[in-house]
Amino acid sequence: MTVTEDFSRMWFALCADGTLSVLGDHGDYDAADATAEDLGLDVIWLVCGADAAQWADTINSKRGEN
C-alpha cells in the first residue's frame, strides 16, 4: 500500500460548528460515520483523505496568491 492509498483511508468530519475533525483510518464511509456518531459529532459532511488533500492543495495554492 502506498502513502497515497494509506491517506485515502483517513477520514475527516466537517462539523456544524465549522471545525474539521480527524476521524482516523477507516475502510469506508460507513465506518467513518459510525466513529463520528460514537464521538457525538454534529457532522455536516464526511470526506476521505484523498478529497481532503485535494481541497487543501487548492486552498493553499490560493493563499500564495495574496
SS3 assignment for 2-66: CHHHHHHCEEEEEECCCCEEEEEECCCHHHHHHHHHHCCCCEEEEEEHHHHHHHHHHHHHHHCCC
How much is the pLDDT for 24? Answer: 95
Residue 41: other Cβ atoms inside 10 A: 19
How much is the pLDDT for 44? Answer: 97
Entry pTM: 0.82
How much is the pLDDT for 25? Answer: 95
Query: Could you list the mean pLDDT of each consecutive 10-residue stretch along the chain, which spans 66 residues?
Result: 71 96 95 97 96 92 78
Q: Residue 16: which residues within 8 A CB-CB, separation 6 or more?
A: 42, 43, 44
Residue for cell digits 460514537? 38
How much is the pLDDT for 12? Answer: 97
